[in-house]
């Protein structure tokens, strides 16, 4: 475990609000008529950017939920896609996060949370300190999420996040789904 912490300590951590503002600035500067697949970061070459934005969104949501200054670093390993870090007194705290996505209905109308959880449970069965963050690219309400049956997952926590406005200015965070689930609404940081 010491090697893992030393590795995490060596990473470069980013302010999620700054990263999100940069994504929004780029988004607003796109020329009219750009291919929607490109604008939505849905090409294979733009997948790292989409995942980076999602990592920033989740980290920013956790900042709002915890009132802590949480940063993130992209660092993939067998059970995580990025690591978050925050300071309390002189102690650094690290949390590895596995990022999954329920894709938009226009990309796969058959995709569902139960199917996503089945795939995740098959791949990540062992107990871990890693947190699972699920980006919902569909309309979601707390009442609907409470009805989703989740198989036993080895993750320490399970969180959902999604846009709740057509212009992606208003967002929601739901979690922890493995304990008493709550919701938090937050605004996308303005440029």
**Residues of the chain above pLDDT 90, percent:** 61
Which pLDDT does position 119 carry in this prediction? 92
Nearest in space to 65 (alpha carbons), one of 145, 176, 162: 176
- Residue 180's CB: how many other CB atoms inside 10 A? 7
pLDDT in tens, 136-165: 988 777 777 877 888 889 999 999 999 999
Which pLDDT does position 177 carry in this prediction? 92
Q: H or E stretch including 82?
A: strand 80-88
Report the predicted TM-score, pTM, of the whole model to 2 decimal places.
0.93
Label residues 102-122 b or e (16+ Cβ within 10 Å = b): beeeeeeeeeebeebbeebee
How far is CA 165 from its chain centroid?
A: 17
Number of H helices, E strands in the chain: 6, 7
Which pLDDT does position 169 carry in this prediction? 94
Which pLDDT does position 99 carry in this prediction? 97
């Amino acid at each position: 475990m010491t090697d893992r912490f030393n590795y995490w300590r060596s990473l470069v951590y980013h302010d999620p609000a700054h990263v999100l503002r940069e994504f929004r600035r780029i988004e607003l500067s796109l020329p009219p008529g750009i291919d929607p697949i490109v604008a939505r970061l849905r090409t294979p070459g733009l997948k790292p950017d989409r995942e980076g934005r999602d990592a920033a969104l989740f980290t920013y949501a956790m900042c709002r939920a915890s009132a802590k200054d949480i940063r993130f670093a992209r660092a993939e390993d067998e059970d995580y896609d990025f690591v978050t870090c925050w300071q309390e007194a002189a102690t650094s705290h690290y949390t590895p996060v596995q990022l999954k996505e329920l894709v938009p209905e226009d990309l796969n109308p058959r995709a569902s949370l139960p199917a996503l959880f089945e795939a995740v449970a098959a791949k990540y069965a062992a107990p871990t300190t890693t947190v699972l963050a699920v980006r919902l690219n569909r309309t979601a309400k707390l009442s609907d999420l409470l009805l989703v049956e989740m198989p036993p997952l080895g993750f320490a926590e399970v969180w959902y996040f999604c846009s709740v406005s057509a212009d992606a200015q208003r967002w929601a965070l739901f979690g922890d789904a493995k304990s008493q689930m709550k919701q938090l609404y937050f605004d996308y940081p303005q440029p």
